[in-house]
Structure 1
Amino acid sequence: MMREQGLIEPDRARRKAAQRLGIDNKRCWPDNAEIQEALESEYRLFEPEAQQHVTTRLREQALAAMKTFADFDPRLVGQSLSGTASLEQGVRVHLFADDPREIVFRLIDKGIPWQEGDAQQRYADGTRQAHPSFAFMAGEVPIELVVLPARDRQNPPLGAISERPERGLNTRAVEQLLADEGH
């Protein structure tokens, strides 16, 4: 369902699948790691070349965005990093700035039209926080910049799938990832 319907959140896909199959006992539901593993297997088995092309394109756009926002210690996170994102899902990059207006000024300086929003993030201590996010299109790839306070470099939010601190990859690591893929 996540691949075919473009669902991003595993919880939503899990609930929808359980409802469709009539499975009420939550102990029988797969955990996020099992969902991620199944999604990766599905791509490897049924459309490896197409997914690799999409993943490379997303990572290239992510790298361009990361270079534009290099002053904010960008980190590529999410499904474009794991290789399971679609073009429609796009790219998510964490930026670190104590004043989100700095990101707005960079967007204005670069002439990038954006939409502002909030990204809900969960943390290891059980708290949830909303952080400013800025979304824009890079060609036909949606880019979401989530602005985290500088202190979150040491304590990043949890990944939606892994439920572990999502440290992501910095610009140099994304460049190396693309080089290793032959791009």
Structure 2
Amino acid sequence: MAGGPAPVSVLRLAARACAEDATLDHAAALRKAAARLQLALDPRFTTVDHERLTAEIRQYQLVFRQEQSAALRHLREEALRAMAFFAAFSPRLVGAVLAGTADRQSTVTLHLFADPPEAVLHFLYEKEIPFRESERQYHYRGGRTQRATVVSTVAFDVPFDLVLFAVSAIREAPLGAGGAVIPRASAAKLAELLADEADKT
């Protein structure tokens, strides 16, 4: 490829792979698709390629995976329900459920904010909610990195990842795939999104 964004052939092949496996990393899907088609990706267009791939995944699911729409709405409704439960921690929805590329196997990811972040753990203990802890490293502009506690749990058969941040971290979202800032949505924004979808049906 002559130094430009990923061609449509790469995007479509990567979109199909991501639609069939919601856990597949988008950057990895693009690299594998390009290698299969014997094309080279220009790293200068990583962010653009990621955004175009997200749009291509939505289109693929709309055409070939119509049941995905109902699954996505269910996950968004459960996310809104959870955000009301965690209202004290200013929850923000992120990831595939917000982007619209999730399917019924996807995990709902929420960013929660508290001082200290471990206050969320105490809240879960008080509510007697079982969970599993792990860590995830996030990257920020300027090369800064930060490790955050991730709490994994299941509610109403829906898997959740709760990522715990200090309250100050709500002002700056970390970077996601391709170096773009991770989009976040408040409960009010998610409710608006659901209402817009209902109007279209």
TM-score, length of structure 1 as denominator length: 0.87
Q: Which runs of 5+ in 2 are unaligned?
A: 1-16
Preserved CA contact (<8 Å) 1:69 1:106: no
Preserved CA contact (<8 Å) 1:123 1:157: yes
Q: 1:100 to 1:152 in 2, by over 3 A?
A: closer
**Alignment root-mean-square deviation, CA:** 2.2
Aligned twin of 2:132: 115
Out of 166, 172, 197, the residue aligned to residue 149 of structure 1 is 166
Aligned twin of 1:42: 60
Aligned twin of 1:180: 196
Matches within 5 A, 1:20-59: 20-23=36-39, 25-27=40-42, 31-48=49-66, 50-59=67-76
Preserved CA contact (<8 Å) 1:78 1:159: no
The CA distance in 1 between the partners of 2:148 and 2:57, in whole Å, is 28
Task: Give the Å deviation of 1:35.
Answer: 1.2
Structure 1 runs of 4+ aligned residues shifted over 4 Å read none
Q: Which runs of 5+ in 1 are unaligned?
A: none
Match of 2:193, as an amino acid?
Answer: L
Match of 1:16, as an amino acid?
Answer: K
Preserved CA contact (<8 Å) 2:93 2:184: yes
The CA distance in 1 between the partners of 2:104 and 2:145, in whole Å, is 28
Task: Give the Å deviation of 1:167.
Answer: 4.6
Aligned twin of 2:34: 18
Aligned twin of 1:160: 177
The CA distance in 2 between the partners of 1:156 and 1:66, in whole Å, is 18
What are the superposed Cα offsets for residues 67-95 of structure 1, whole Å, 9 maximum, x if unpaired? 11111100011110111012222211111
Task: Give the Å deviation of 1:104.
Answer: 0.7
Preserved CA contact (<8 Å) 1:121 1:131: yes
- 1:139 aligned to 2:156? yes
TM-score, length of structure 2 as denominator length: 0.80
- 1:65 aligned to 2:82? yes
| 1:26 alignment partner, SS class | coil
Aligned twin of 2:4: none
Preserved CA contact (<8 Å) 1:119 1:131: yes
Aligned twin of 1:80: 97
Match of 2:115, as an amino acid?
Answer: D
Question: Which has the greater radius of gyration?
Answer: 2
Task: Give the Å deviation of 1:43.
Answer: 1.4
Preserved CA contact (<8 Å) 1:75 1:167: no
Q: 1:100 to 1:8 in 2, by over 3 A?
A: farther
